[in-house]
Amino acid sequence: MKDDEEDAVHFKLLDGIKELDNLCEIAGLESESEEVVRFETTTLSDGTQKRLLRVPRSKALAAERLSAKLESQLSSDNDVNTSALLKLLRGLHPNE
């Protein structure tokens, strides 16, 4: 195995461990009455911000309707769409 291959395997392993850690963290929190989502954003100005969102399943229909409205307003540029949605998320959950 070459050094660059070893580095690639190392980073893939670290990513896998991080993903398992995230799943373990939320596995005990989710219930029949709510969905739990963990996400993080990283920017140079704010660093890494980890967020845990608990959404009551009773709000699922309202969330689907809003999601459809937002999707209909998205542009054909996925970079712009992603940036705008991330800006909304950071604004809704500042420094949690």
Query: Residue 29 above 80 pLDDT?
Result: no
For 31-72, write each residue's pLDDT tens digit: 788 888 888 888 888 888 888 888 898 998 999 999 999 999
CA distances from 50 to 11, 20, 87 (A): 20, 16, 15
**Neighbouring residues of 9: CB distance < 8 A, sequence distance ≥ 6:** 1
**How much is the pLDDT for 9?**
87
Domain boundaries, the chain: 3-92
pTM, two decimal places? 0.62
CA distances from 78 to 64, 84, 88 (A): 20, 10, 15
The stretches of the chain forming alpha helices (DSSP H) are: 3-27, 60-73, 78-92
For 66-90, write each residue's pLDDT tens digit: 999 999 999 999 999 999 998 888 8
